[in-house]
Amino acid sequence: MEENIYNNTYSLLKLIREKKPLVHHITNYVTINDCANIVLAIGASPIMADAVEEVEEIVSLASALVINMGTLSKEHVEAMLVAGKKANELGIPVILDPVGVGATAFRKKGAEKIIKEVKLAVIRGNMSEIKSISGISVKSKGIDASERDIIQNDNLEYGKDISEELALKLNCVIAITGVVDIISGEGKTVFIDKGHKMLSTVTGTGCMCTSLIGAYCAVSRSYFEAAIAGILTMDLAGEKAYKNLKTIDEGSGSFKMKLMDSIFNFNHLLKNIILR
């Protein structure tokens, strides 16, 4: 299974770099620049357009649509719905990142409306966000997962049950990222135990991961495989970035820069793993 995951990811990465698909984002202003740069680093092309007057035209040119609820407004929700419905009409995959969905009633209502009216290919979130979408009561810690909701080896089965049930209910891929990642879809579930804790010290690594999933969805016939590829890319690049820190004086700023470099050079990193 692990060998297949690496090989599938490598094949999809080659397609991204050959086709350079356009990935349309309606995302948040905290991480918008990082998401655009991570899409460029993997080899795709980003466009960050959220004006309701133009999103139908923009998404018509794209190969994937990423919806990120990080800095939500009434206007954002309207644009997300318009773009999502147009993407559905054109057969373009829609990837939802329900940032902090359990934090406020406004976010929860917005997510419910999007999920009800737009057919989603992938939902990626932390455990608290996925539980909230599933209708399970959560004690939110802002936009972060609460301590008890962090997926680790001792609560994998609990996370797997929630992920699989929601994937079946919504007929889409559910990706829960944490210390251990859980991806459910197409009647299967995969766990990824990779990455590094330094990823949690940089704002927006979850958002960037969702953008990577969007890039892979743009070239894949299997959104399940695309979600795995996006998460594996972030995890392995995080490990590589940490290894490339040269002194104890290098912290989260250096890590972020090296993370972007690792994504840019991910074809070499992944090829070396496959050839071991």
The binding site for substrate consists of 48, 204
Name the one residue in this structure whose structure tokens are 């135990």. Answer: 193
Helices (H), 91-222: 105-117, 127-133, 156-170, 205-217
Eight-state DSSP code of residue 192: E
Question: Which phi and psi angles does 28 have, rounded to 5°?
Answer: -100, 155
Helix or strand run (H / E) with residue 183 = strand 181-185
Q: Which residues contact 239 (CB under 8 A, 6 or more apart)?
A: 194, 195, 196
Annotated binding site for ATP: 124, 177
- Pairing mode of beta strands 22-26, 64-68: parallel
The binding site comprises 48, 124, 177, 204
From 93, 43, 38, select the one nearest 204 (Cα to Cα): 38
How far does CA 81 lie from the centroid of its chain? 19
Burial class, 101, CB count within 10 angstroms (exposed 0-12 / middle 13-18 / buried 19+)? buried
